[in-house]
A and B are shown apart, each in its own frame.
Chain A
Amino acid sequence: MKPISILLFWTILIQYLGAQTPDSLGANKDAVYQRPFIFEGQKGNLTAAVGGYLEANTNYFSTDGVSEGFSMEMRRFNIFLYSTLKERIKFIAELEFEHGTEEIALETAMLDFELAPALAFRAGIVLVPLGYFNQNHDSPKWEFIDRPLVSTTLIPATYSDVGFGLHGTIPLNSLSFTYETYLLNGLQDGILANTSNRTFLPAGKNEERFGEDNNGSPSLAARIAMKKRGLGEVGFSCFGGYYNTFKKDGLRVDEKRKVFVFAFDYNFSFGKAKMLGEAALVKTEVPSAIGQAFGQTQWGIHADVIYPIWSGGLFGWENVKLNAAFRFEAIDYNVGIFDETGGNIGDHLLAIVPGFSLRFSPNTLLKVNYRYRWDTDLLGNPAVKTAGFQFGMASYF
């Protein structure tokens, strides 16, 4: 081939390639730049946002007269990343720093792909739809500093898991019905293999669940809810599946054991008062050999009432709201009777939390809580009493 022919060939080829869209035939070395958000950003079509929230508080607690003194706690610093590439394709991620850098976790990273309002696909690391709190746990939304115990020690909030599923909203007059359902890797062996000496679902949140299922049998979570405009929402949810590693390398190494969680939640406004709470029932298959310290049935509730007692201007802020709040909590971690004595198994608690919040804006508030808690041990001995004061602030940014 003559040099002029070679030159002509390369000129035509380069012209041809230059006419291609970058994402179809770009050079491999430039692949990192061949991403839609760059093109869409250059066109001005990109919708992306960064946000988050921060919560910090003080603690002064005493247990049966013994106090560790006064301390400050940086609870959480969470960063959100949100983007919509197309109108009905949404992405959100949440990175959580708990107690400084003591615990860093990718709490959410999920993609929503909506075919219709009643049918959307969701995939990624999703917040499991179990009760109300798990998906709605941002501190600036709550008048209390501590999270509800039923939501964190029975329902293992914040419980996120790798999942695929569907969700949607079906309106009907002044009502709307919502549903969510996902297949998940599920909770793991820590439910029993833990240092809490009780059946404890939060210990089943092994980080490995983000990589693979420990037993190859997905769990299922679902929530249905009904919302009435101007009144509130009630929801029913459930979660279930095998939690233990019953096979390894194809060999059966243990019996299959299931865990189920059933939850009911509500969130209402009655006049000025806001009432919200949730109840959960946990049923866990427990091998009898491990002993009765590990309960097969657990239940718990929390009920919050929030009532605005003043609003007005304060220190140059407009429409500041002072709320009185009260929480009641009860949990029984082990429902049953001892084989040895026929007496009731203990391991339960009660707590009350009166408090005030001062909302300078819907997204920023100061909180003052007083907390009194009675913990009864497994044997049912006189309750250990813990009480204390907390002052905190939380804000979205």
Chain B
Amino acid sequence: MKKWLTLIPLLGISLLSCEKLLPPTPADNEVLDGPMDGLSPTQLQIFLEGDEAFAEIFSPQTGLGPIFVATSCAGCHVGDGKGHPFTTLTRFGNYTNGQFDHLLHLGGGQLQNRAIPGYTAETLPPEATGISRFTPPAVTGLGLLAAVPDETLLALADPDDVNEDGISGRVNYVHPPSFFIPSVWHHSDAQGRYIGRFGKKAAAVDLLHQTVNAYKQDMGITSDFDLQDPINYAVTSHPTDPVADPELPAATVQSVVFYLRTLKAPAPRDQHDPEVVQGRQLFMDIQCGKCHIPTMKTGISDIEALSEIEFHPYTDLLLHDMGAALDDGYTEGSAGSAEWRTPPLWGLGLSANAQGGSIFLLHDGRARSIEEAVLLHGGEAEKSRNAFQQLSVQERNAIIQFLESL
């Protein structure tokens, strides 16, 4: 008995060392997910509800499809990071009489290339001549980007290149959906169009617009905001899956929007590393920072943690002509087919952790390294690209180190 009693303190010591046998918590700047600082307990509760809804995997019994691209939000934005070619979206249409036609009567503008059992997935119709593939973006820090007032974007825009620097960013005016409620700082043009800022072409005016579209177009999930499933017109014009519409209540959609608004911004790493410091300076010197603007500031927000915050996304949220090589002949809103919204660069260094250990950059994932992505820049970015090519190998590596530190 005594022998066994001596085991008790040993057991206690073992239990105290248990924590060392558990997986460590990754550093805050090594992961993209997590709430931003400064949220109240109630806000954290809504954040968690949104997090759960974001991760929900849909099945035919819960409304998936009948045609779809992915089965959950998190399936495309793994760990809230960039997506993989497996979940790349295909959008299509054609130019008719100078106007872009999204071929809605043929299932455009987005292809649903998957279908629940018993149904037929879409294929590209022969009429589609403008076809573009969109790799899902990271979703972190979106709340900060959403809270930048339109007047900031208008101030950054230089559509006629008045300053003659060769860079002429402009906003994309789009017709908002019926459920869009503008805030005091939203700007509209004479045609009642509002400034888009989300998506590769900046075609979504706010995160609710983006989220409702993603539920419908990516997963075939209807909601109180949009009651119609996507349709494979090659089979029938009658939308159907086994679940009554709406498949998702407005409250769930709104909780996902809140989640997206309050995800933390990616935290940079190694900011005092000399090579990173050098790379940052070179990045600005060769004018990359003209479009990938380092710092922005939010306006007044209903979420205090988002209100009047200075942050560092490395984007101007404007459209820029990126040259013929990146012109897919496809567009949305008032954007030209060669125009793309400047993607934020924050979180770039963590992309591989969400893209299966590799990286797939630019709008369609064609660039397999940061250097390749830089070299594929054209149009308004041509001068910067040429300047990058003129740098020494060490200097180019410094820029890449800097970009990986974001």
Q: Which residues of A contact B61 (CB under 8 A)?
A: 193
Q: Which B residues from 85 to 114 make CB contacts under 8 A with A?
A: 85-86, 88, 113-114
Tell whether A87 is near chain B: CB-to-CB under 8 Å. Answer: no
**Are B121 and A289 touching (Cβ within 8 A)?**
yes
**Are A195 and B58 touching (Cβ within 8 A)?**
yes
Q: Which residues of A contact B18 (CB under 8 A)?
A: 60, 389
Q: Which residues of B contact A65 (CB under 8 A)?
A: 22-26
**Other-chain contact of B22, A254, A341, A382, A388 (Cβ < 8 Å):** A388
Bound Cα distance from A77 to B117, whole angstroms? 37
**Are B26 and A197 touching (Cβ within 8 A)?**
no
**A380/B25 contact (C-beta < 8 A), A193-B116, A195-B62, A340-B88 known:** no
Q: Which residues of B contact A64 (CB under 8 A)?
A: 23-26
Tell whether A67 is near chain B: CB-to-CB under 8 Å. Answer: yes
Q: Which A residues from 264 to 317 make CB contacts under 8 A with B?
A: 287, 289-293, 314-315
**Are A370 and B117 touching (Cβ within 8 A)?**
no
**A338/B85 contact (C-beta < 8 A), A62-B23, A197-B71, A381-B78 known:** yes
**Are B22 and A67 touching (Cβ within 8 A)?**
yes
Bound Cα distance from A60 to B118, whole angstroms? 43
Say how far B227's CB is from chain A's closest CB, in angstroms.
Answer: 23
Q: Which residues of B contact A195 (CB under 8 A)?
A: 56-59, 62
**Are B23 and A380 touching (Cβ within 8 A)?**
no
Q: Which residues of B contact A287 (CB under 8 A)?
A: 115, 117
Bound Cα distance from A316 to B115, whole angstroms? 64
User: Nearest residue in B to A338 (C-beta to C-beta)?
Assistant: B86
Q: Which residues of A contact B353 (CB under 8 A)?
A: 381-382
Q: Which residues of B contact A343 (CB under 8 A)?
A: 356, 358
**A379/B26 contact (C-beta < 8 A), A287-B117, A343-B358 known:** no
The A/B interface has a contact count, at CB < 8 Å, of 101
Q: Which B residues from 54 to 81 make CB contacts under 8 A with A?
A: 56-62, 71-72, 75, 78-79
**Are A377 and B78 touching (Cβ within 8 A)?**
yes
Say how far A392's CB is from chain B's closest CB, in angstroms.
Answer: 16
Bound Cα distance from A370 to B15, whole angstroms? 12
Tell whether A63 is near chain B: CB-to-CB under 8 Å. Answer: yes
Q: Which residues of A contact B1 (CB under 8 A)?
A: 315
Interface size class of A (residues with CB under 8 A): 35 or more
Tell whether B197 is near chain A: CB-to-CB under 8 Å. Answer: no
**A293/B71 contact (C-beta < 8 A), A195-B62, A254-B117, A379-B355 known:** yes
Bound Cα distance from A154 to B154, whole angstroms? 56
Bound Cα distance from A254 to B116, whole angstroms? 11
Tell whether A194 is near chain B: CB-to-CB under 8 Å. Answer: yes
Q: Which A residues from 361 to 397 make CB contacts under 8 A with B?
A: 370, 372, 377-382, 385-389
**Are A340 and B86 touching (Cβ within 8 A)?**
yes
Q: Which B residues from 107 to 156 make CB contacts under 8 A with A?
A: 113-121
Interface size class of B (residues with CB under 8 A): 35 or more
Q: Which residues of A contact B59 (CB under 8 A)?
A: 193-195
**A291/B21 contact (C-beta < 8 A), A340-B85, A340-B86, A343-B358 known:** no
Bound Cα distance from A257 to B117, whole angstroms? 10
Q: Which residues of B contact A253 (CB under 8 A)?
A: 118
**Are A387 and B4 touching (Cβ within 8 A)?**
no
Bound Cα distance from A64 to B34, whole angstroms? 13
Say how far B385's CB is from chain A's closest CB, in angstroms.
Answer: 26
Q: Which residues of A contact B121 (CB under 8 A)?
A: 289
Tell whether B12 is near chain A: CB-to-CB under 8 Å. Answer: no
Instruction: Give per-residue flags for B343-358: 1 if the beta carbon is below 8 A from chain A beta carbons, else 0.
Output: 0000000000111111
**Are A197 and B79 touching (Cβ within 8 A)?**
no
**Are B84 and A379 touching (Cβ within 8 A)?**
yes
Q: Which residues of B contact A377 (CB under 8 A)?
A: 78
Say how far A308's CB is from chain B's closest CB, in angstroms.
Answer: 17
Bound Cα distance from A39 to B184, whole angstroms? 86
Q: Which A residues from 87 to 132 make CB contacts under 8 A with B?
A: none
Instruction: Give per-residue flags for A191-203: 1 if the beta carbon is below 8 A from chain B beta carbons, else 0.
Output: 0111111000000
Bound Cα distance from A125 to B149, whole angstroms? 65
Say how far A334's CB is from chain B's closest CB, in angstroms.
Answer: 11
Bound Cα distance from A379 to B354, whole angstroms? 8
Q: Which residues of A contact B357 (CB under 8 A)?
A: 380-382
Q: Which B residues from 10 to 69 make CB contacts under 8 A with A?
A: 18, 21-26, 56-62
Bound Cα distance from A378 to B86, whole angstroms? 10
Bound Cα distance from A287 to B118, whole angstroms? 9
Q: Which A residues from 136 to 171 make CB contacts under 8 A with B?
A: none
Say how far A177's CB is from chain B's closest CB, in angstroms.
Answer: 40
Say how far B235's CB is from chain A's closest CB, in angstroms.
Answer: 11
Say how far B158's CB is from chain A's closest CB, in angstroms.
Answer: 37
Bound Cα distance from A314 to B24, whole angstroms? 38
Say how far A332's CB is from chain B's closest CB, in angstroms.
Answer: 15
**Are B23 and A289 touching (Cβ within 8 A)?**
no
Say how far A201's CB is from chain B's closest CB, in angstroms.
Answer: 15
Say how far B29's CB is from chain A's closest CB, in angstroms.
Answer: 14
**A289/B119 contact (C-beta < 8 A), A343-B356, A379-B355 known:** yes
**A370/B24 contact (C-beta < 8 A), A197-B71, A340-B85 known:** no
**Other-chain contact of A379, B86, B116, B119 (Cβ < 8 Å):** B86
User: Nearest residue in B to A293 (C-beta to C-beta)?
Assistant: B71
**Are B23 and A385 touching (Cβ within 8 A)?**
yes
**A254/B62 contact (C-beta < 8 A), A197-B57, A197-B75, A379-B86 known:** no
User: 9 A-B residue contacts at CB 8 Å?
Assistant: A64-B26, A66-B25, A197-B75, A289-B119, A291-B113, A341-B85, A341-B356, A341-B358, A387-B23
Apart from A65-B24, A379-B86, A381-B354, list 5 A-B contacts with CB within 8 A: A60-B18, A67-B22, A192-B117, A340-B85, A381-B353
Which 3 pairs of residues, A with B, have the shortest CB-CB distance?
Answer: A65-B25, A379-B356, A385-B23
Mark A residues whose CB is within 8 Å of B.
60, 62-67, 189, 192-197, 244, 253-254, 257, 287, 289-293, 314-315, 338, 340-341, 343, 346, 370, 372, 377-382, 385-389
